[in-house]
Amino acid sequence: MSLEQTLTQHVKEAVKQLYNTEVNDSLIQLQKTRKDYEGHLTVVVFPFVKLARKAPAQVAAEIGDYLVKNAPEVERYNAIQGFLNLVISDRYWLTMLAQISANPAFGTRPVTQESPLMMVEYSSPNTNKPLHLGHVRNNLLGSSIARIQEANGWRVVKTNIVNDRGIHICKSMLAWQLYGNGETPESSGKKGDHLIGDYYVRFDQEYRKQVRQLVEGGMDEETAKKEAPLIREAQQMLLRWEQGDKEIRDLWAKMNSWVYAGFDETYRRMGVSFDKIYYESQTYLEGKQEVLRGLKEGLFYRREDGSVWADLTGDGLDEKLLLRSDGTSVYMTQDIGTAKLRYQDYPIDKMVYVVGNEQEYHFKVLSLLLDRLGFRFGKDLVHFSYGMVELPNGKMKSREGTVVDADELMDQMIADAREVSRDKVNRLENISSEEADEIARKVGLGALKYFILKVDPRKNMLFNPEESIDFNGNTGPFIQYTYARIQSVLRKADANGFSCTLDYKDGGTLHDKELSLIQLLADFPDVVRQAGDDFSPALIANYCYALASEFNSFYHDLSILSEQDTDKRALRIMLSRTVGDILKRGMEMLGIEMPERM
């Protein structure tokens, strides 16, 4: 039971004994005591004034007297009008530290076969280009959300829907056919996803030329965009693909296999994985059947050109295309089919889509369509809508080849970490070049992940690599360096045979720096729970920063290994070790590895 829960019960008992009235937990308000007053937690007593028929200050004093006598956690109090500031005893905090230190699962809830099941979808790449910075934020958010929900007691299934069909895929395929001369990842020395991405860019370049030529010949631009030979060929290729043309399907399978091999390598480096991967090529037909069923049942309607639409004007939206006039599917069709298959495969209690905020309308529509089609889960889906990543020089455009490639970004971050940390690593004795490289990898990727995840996910963000790699301030390397510092202290303590068994005398008192750290450690479960409720890795990230900052202040102001009082030294060693454990646990929820030495 947390301190807040324990005090809530004591306050309820106090009100019952003092004023002969039972009160609900909802009436008892506890908050952190303001820094300009003495105390750890404050009870708001105004809700009890009417019951007591006394002044707020008197009610606060009476409840305070009761708690000092009957609540072993409360050492003393001060009353400011209707606010009762409680000072919690050092003995309680020491006991709390011992409990946290002894519990390797502190802050998390157990997951059993009976735990509710959450499916988290993230990544959703297209097989016409490599992953870029926007995908990096998506993958890091999705993977971290899955870890945080597991820490909150959910069984989690991590899924990915690969967009492996459609006109954009045909553009890359057609460009490779026309301009590739049989180039392969092996012959070019390129990762498969990069190779295919080059041809997606090449298509756009050649297509623009054709449009420009048609416009120069007297055609208006909109017509030219529709009539350019390349786009018409790509549309014809899509039709042949949907008709099962063997030549096109074989080419599609070959080029997609190159891309998947590239994706797998990028995911592995990023520390991202999936329990189940769905493919649009396998789900769109299921969605098409559901749309046709809806058409037959009068849920949708067909226009004169043969296209199928849903009229959502009655729900405050507009009309939504579900099947084109040539019978080909759109993204919405695929998402209907994927949702149906997922609920057939898993007994999902909550479905979470990690998709950018530009798709908010899409998921409103999807929820309505699934509900209209009779799927009970339609209204319950969660669109975790996050903001876009922008660069100092503006937005990214895949078709123009101006994206920040995920692989190149990770390479650069690791190289930067190696350069920035060179002096620190070189000061370490007996470190091999392999270990130095591993430290640079952890620090570089940790900097990238932390910089992205520390921001409120619902906000747009500006990614600045130079800021992210700084060893000072609210960065991943700062927290990693703090953790490595703690491990150094623990290694030295072990080498000197110093005890870290807590055996503090009753007369001992905690230093303010020690107390602040223990209080922060005790907050960890509430932070994890709130991060799960809000789907916000940023809460975990900023908690870790606060804990690391507080530890560095403690480390600077107090002696640890040179402390002559053996009880104080043991306490501080235990406190250091526990801070390190919680930092590691929190950063693991962000997918960040912690180096033992830096």
Q: What's the 3-state SS for 187-247?
A: HHCCCHHHHHHHHHHHHHHHHHHHHHHHHHCCCCHHHHHHHCHHHHHHHHHHHHHHCCCHH
Mean pLDDT of the chain: 93
Distance CA 141, CA 538 (A): 10
**Neighbour count for residue 336 (Cβ, 10 Å):** 27
Nearest to 537 by CA among 426, 414, 451: 451
Q: Which amino acid is present at 567?
A: D
Distances in Å between the alpha carbon of 412 and those of 130, 146, 189, 190, 390?
16, 27, 20, 18, 17
Mapping DSSP to helix (H, G, I), strand (E, B) and coil, where does residue 155 land? strand
What number of residues does the chain have?
Answer: 598
CA–chain centroid gap for 437, Å, is: 27
Please name each of the domains of the chain with its CATH number: 3-88 (3.30.1360.70), 122-390 (3.40.50.620), 406-589 (1.10.730.10)
Q: Express each pLDDT in 215-225 by its tens digit.
A: 999 999 999 99
Distance CA 268, CA 157 (A): 18
Confidence of residue 44 (pLDDT cuts 50, 70, 90): very high
Q: Express each pLDDT in 298-348 by its tens digit.
A: 999 999 999 999 999 999 999 999 999 988 888 899 999 999 999 999 999
Contact 474, 482 (CB under 8 A): no
pLDDT at 395: 47
Helices (H), 88-132: 90-102
Minimum mean pLDDT range among 399-413, 431-445, 527-541: 399-413
Nearest to 457 by CA among 350, 380, 586, 355: 355
* Residue 297 φ/ψ, nearest 5 degrees: -85, 5
The DSSP code for 89 is P
Confidence of residue 379 (pLDDT cuts 50, 70, 90): confident
Contact 597, 431 (CB under 8 A): yes
Contact 8, 30 (CB under 8 A): yes
Residue 425 has pLDDT above 90, yes or no: no
Q: Express each pLDDT in 542-570 by its tens digit.
A: 999 999 999 999 999 999 999 999 999 99
Residue 504 has pLDDT above 80, yes or no: no
Helix (H) or strand (E) holding 386: strand 382-386
pLDDT at 90: 93
pLDDT at 397: 46
Q: What does the block give as tokens for 300?
A: 């949708």
Residues 6+ apart with CB under 8 A from 512: none
Residues 6+ apart with CB under 8 A from 79: 57, 60, 61, 64, 85
Place of tokens 């080909």: 328
Q: What does the block give as tokens for 178?
A: 């026309």
Largest Cα span, the chain: 94
**Neighbour count for residue 507 (Cβ, 10 Å):** 6
* Residue 510 φ/ψ, nearest 5 degrees: -85, 140
Confidence of residue 168 (pLDDT cuts 50, 70, 90): very high
pLDDT at 18: 96
